[in-house]
A and B are shown apart, each in its own frame.
Chain A
Amino acid sequence: MADESRQLMARDEQLISLALSGQTSAFGVIVERYWKMVVAMALTRIADPAEAEDVAQESFIRAYCQLHSLRDPSRFAGWLSKITLQQCSDSMRRAVRCKSALGCKATPLNELDAKPAEPANPGLTQRQIHFVREAVRRLPQKFQSLIVMRFVAGLSAVQIAEQLGKRPGAIRVRLHRAYKILRRDLAPLLEEVEL
């Protein structure tokens, strides 16, 4: 029990070291820590939330399998986000390949309109959730990940820069461009939601 609470407080590097030495519970803490970020990252590319969660799980398994190849464990979140986006691409490719077959995965984004959003967010209506997701998906791809890391994972601009191996100033510039676009595209929503 004491081990578990220590793990919850541990840094990513420590957890990775433990996971590499065979303590899978340490990887469990990592899963818990980054689950929201990975699902959100997948949702920027995959329309169906259930499929996005499947892709998120596959991303964690892939990360676990490749953990020994991670060069800088302090940049785990950045590395994981790249694996997630790669997993999304793979999933989309599979979907294209078996388009005419049953059991296809990964609904392409252009089929998004046919899919209602799941009722998981009490603060926004389904229409509003759809509206926000669409606005984020319209952002240039290089901004989408930053917005997810900032708003969903709660990493600061400086932490994102560390994770991605970029300069903080460069990340701040990109984030501010993304905010500007989002502010413009979300304006109707911001108007209608009571401040």
Chain B
Amino acid sequence: MTDCTKYKNLIEKYLDGLIADSELAELRVHAEACPRCREEFDRCVLMQSAVKQAFSSSTAAEQVRASLLEKLPVESSRFVGTAWLAGRRAAVAAAVVLAAGVLAGFALGRFSGPGQTAPAVTAEVPIGVGDVQGMVLVRHEGSGLWQALKADSHIYLGDAFHAAANSGCILRWADESTLELNQNSMLVLKSYNGETQFYLEHGELTAALESPHPPFFISTPHGRVEALGTEFTVTVE
């Protein structure tokens, strides 16, 4: 069973186009002996092949190339030196910049300090770790110890997450909603009125929620943000 977990991960890497040749060979050998993994793998290969075939063009690319070059305007794409470098500007981030004066939100969303409303015993929350990149640390409430967050880490109420530079992690719910913590960010899971509250102390996170979703809030030192759509980014500078 444990072995099959490994091969299930390899099948996922295959689907993502990230599997190494040696891993693929290993997967194929295993699939020969394991009917369950073989069926799973075959179905993934078939799905990939079916989509590729169904969306293939009936006109060869070489054929199009010749006819399309004739249609290109002669002067329209003149060389402009390093225009794309010189004219480069910072991309406009699709982030929600929070106004410092959202006092109502602040009052509602303010996370309680240690010993105020946090339960004495922290409970595990139904959130998994979808992905971890670089150095992401987690600290359980009441513990001064920061540990490396791993894909199989359990998440508890009161956990604090810290993503270092060039690092990040994705927290995932059972319904596939995700919360992505970006680099140089700190997120704390707190209990508020019996519900898990997400408190972004600093940095940036991006939430992608399945629709429909129950009311969802992100609290910050400046106020509380409610999710009205399914995807949004919150930045605390």
Identify the stretch in A82-90, A96-104, A106-114, A147-155 within 8 Å (CB) of chain B at 4 or more residues: A147-155
Query: What is the CB-to-nearest-CB distance from B17 to chain A, in angstroms, rounded to a whole number?
Result: 3
Q: Are A186 and B50 in contact (CB under 8 A)?
A: yes
Known: A25-B69, A68-B77. A132 touches B61 (CB 8 A): no
Give A178-195 as 1s and 0s: 1 = Cβ < 8 Å from B's Cβ atoms: 011011001001100101
Q: Which residues of B contact A67 (CB under 8 A)?
A: 77
Q: Are A123 and B206 in contact (CB under 8 A)?
A: no
Known: A32-B62, A151-B48, A173-B172. A124 touches B72 (CB 8 A): no
Q: Are A169 and B130 in contact (CB under 8 A)?
A: yes
Query: What is the CB-to-nearest-CB distance from B68 to chain A, in angstroms, rounded to a whole number?
Result: 5
Q: Are A136 and B73 in contact (CB under 8 A)?
A: no
Cβ-neighbour of A35 out of B50, B64, B172 (below 8 A): B64
B235 at interface (Cβ–Cβ under 8 A)?
A: no
Known: A32-B61, A40-B55, A152-B51. A64 touches B131 (CB 8 A): no
Known: A53-B57, A120-B56. A64 touches B43 (CB 8 A): no
B78 at interface (Cβ–Cβ under 8 A)?
A: yes
A-B pairs with CB below 8 Å: how many?
191
Give A62-82 as 1s and 0s: 1 = Cβ < 8 Å from B's Cβ atoms: 001111111111000000000
Q: Which of B38-67 contact A (CB under 8 A)?
A: 39, 42-44, 46-59, 61-62, 64-66
Q: Which residues of A contact B77 (CB under 8 A)?
A: 19-20, 27, 64-68
Query: What is the CB-to-nearest-CB distance from B170 to chain A, in angstroms, rounded to a whole number?
Result: 5
Candidate in B12, B46, B56, B130 with the most chain A CB atoms within 10 angstroms: B56
Q: Are A152 and B52 in contact (CB under 8 A)?
A: yes
Instruction: Give the interface residue-count category, chain B.
Output: 35 or more
Q: Are B46 and A64 in contact (CB under 8 A)?
A: no
Q: Are A68 and B78 in contact (CB under 8 A)?
A: yes
Q: Which residues of A contact B78 (CB under 8 A)?
A: 20, 22, 68
Which secondary structure dominates chain A's binding surface?
A: helix
A94 at interface (Cβ–Cβ under 8 A)?
A: no
Query: What is the CB-to-nearest-CB distance from A2 to chain B, in angstroms, rounded to a whole number?
Result: 19
Q: Are A20 and B57 in contact (CB under 8 A)?
A: no
A5 at interface (Cβ–Cβ under 8 A)?
A: no
Q: Which residues of B contact A15 (CB under 8 A)?
A: none
B33 at interface (Cβ–Cβ under 8 A)?
A: no
Q: How far is the CA of A38 from the CA of B206 in the complex (A)?
A: 29
Instruction: Give the interface residue-count category, chain A.
Output: 35 or more
Q: Which residues of A contact B76 (CB under 8 A)?
A: 64-65
Query: What is the CB-to-nearest-CB distance from B216 to chain A, in angstroms, rounded to a whole number?
Result: 17
Known: A27-B72, A69-B84, A136-B51. A190 touches B57 (CB 8 A): no
Q: Are B54 and A121 in contact (CB under 8 A)?
A: yes
Query: What is the CB-to-nearest-CB distance from B140 to chain A, in angstroms, rounded to a whole number?
Result: 23
B29 at interface (Cβ–Cβ under 8 A)?
A: no
Q: Which residues of B contact A20 (CB under 8 A)?
A: 77-80
Q: Which residues of A contact B176 (CB under 8 A)?
A: 173, 177, 180
Closest-by-CB residue of B relative to A20 is B79
Q: Which residues of B contact A43 (CB under 8 A)?
A: 55
Known: A20-B77, A32-B61, A156-B16. A169 touches B131 (CB 8 A): yes
B23 at interface (Cβ–Cβ under 8 A)?
A: no
**Other contacts beyond A27-B69, A151-B55: 11, CB < 8 A:** A20-B79, A44-B55, A68-B77, A123-B49, A170-B178, A173-B178, A183-B43, A183-B44, A190-B47, A193-B46, A193-B50
Which residues of chain A have a CB within 8 Å of any CB of chain B? 19-22, 24-25, 27-29, 31-33, 35-36, 39-40, 43-44, 49, 53, 56-57, 60-61, 64-73, 117-118, 120-121, 123-124, 128-129, 132-133, 136, 147-148, 150-152, 154-159, 165, 167-170, 172-177, 179-180, 182-183, 186, 189-190, 193, 195
A-B contact pairs, 20 of them (CB 8 A): A22-B79, A28-B66, A32-B62, A40-B56, A120-B57, A129-B54, A132-B54, A132-B55, A152-B51, A152-B56, A167-B182, A169-B170, A170-B170, A170-B178, A173-B170, A180-B176, A190-B47, A190-B50, A193-B46, A195-B39
